[in-house]
Amino acid sequence: MGAINGNTRVVGVMGWPVEHTVSPAMHNAAFQTAGLNWRYLPLPVHPDRVGQGVHGLLALGFAGCNVTVPHKQAVMEHLDDITAEAQAIGAVNTILVQTDGRMIGHNTDATGFLRSLAERGFRPEGTRAVVMGAGGAARAVAYALASVGTSIKILNRTLSRAESLVVDLASLFPTLPLCSLSLTPATLHQEVPLADLLVNTTSLGMWPQVERSAWPEELPLPPSLTVFDLVYNPVETKLMRQAREAGALAMGGLEMLVYQGAAAWELWTGQKAPVEVMVTAAKAAL
């Protein structure tokens, strides 16, 4: 990597904590490959200082930053504008500091999710999806799928959260078939055989609880299904293994992590991101 000098552009990831992030490895590898004099830094910002953190980007000449847990909502009130997409998802994961000094909030999770599907040849337009979970990640996934006309069933442990996500989506996509259900073996058994795509947005199966899965052991998994587990650590989750063993197509959270990162990288630099390098760097950092 070239030396840091007076022309080095700086971006980073704002979160609390940020010690375990793999984003610096992924983005810096991409800068190096592209021959860009840029650096990506961890930016630990205490929840009491989110506004100062955001304004600090402009003051210190940052090109922008990613935003992660727990600040994806909190940053919104400190920005000059928020894209319609980020507004609809209700969260900002990328800030772009424009050359005119305006700071714009974006959300690249939805495009990252759709790009991951496209790379694997899955065309979600007009298909049926079951989304497990109704938290922040589910909102981005559901918005992405709704925007291309996928009918969606949201299954969540806490039914009221699934209901409120469906109400929000229905106000944006009034003609789309949507429904909410409790996440149970019985509802999965009833709904998943009718679906083309199953997405896990819950934290089940995330390290260190790698032996857990949102898919019940006793239920057969339809081989015609595409299964997308948003969990990226481990790179192959138990759910992905279950899918693979059933003959279904299994996709993992690392793909979405990379494509949401690539979309942010492209917003900042205006260049096409070297995605393969980002995959390798993210895997190595995990």
Q: Which of 88, 137, 192, 262 binds ligand ATR (CB under 6 A)?
A: 137
Sole window of 116-124, 129-137, 163-171, 262-270 interacting with ligand ATR (rule: CB under 6 A): 129-137
Q: Is residue 142 at the binding interface for ligand ATR, with CB under 6 A as the rule? A: no
Residue 153 a catalytic site member = no
Dist CA 56 CA 67 (whole Å): 14
Q: Is residue 134 at the binding interface for ligand ATR, with CB under 6 A as the rule? A: yes
Binding mask 186-225 for ligand ATR (x = CB under 6 A): ---------------xxxx---------------------
Q: Which of 26, 138, 142, 239 binds ligand ATR (CB under 6 A)?
A: 138
CA-nearest of 156, 152, 63, 52 to 106 is 63
3 state DSSP class of 197:
strand
Size of residue set near ligand ATR by CB under 6 A:
15
Q: Is residue 231 at the binding interface for ligand ATR, with CB under 6 A as the rule? A: no
3 state DSSP class of 103:
strand
Minimum distance of ligand ATR from residue 48's CB (angstroms): 21
**CA dist list (Å): 107 to 25, 65, 121:** 21, 12, 23
CB 240 within 8 A of CB 252: yes
> Structure tokens of 129?
């999806």
* Vertex 159 angle, CA 157 and 163, to 5°: 135
Catalytically active residues, by annotation: 72
- Which residues here bind ligand ATR, judged by CB under 6 A? 133-138, 156-158, 161, 183, 201-204
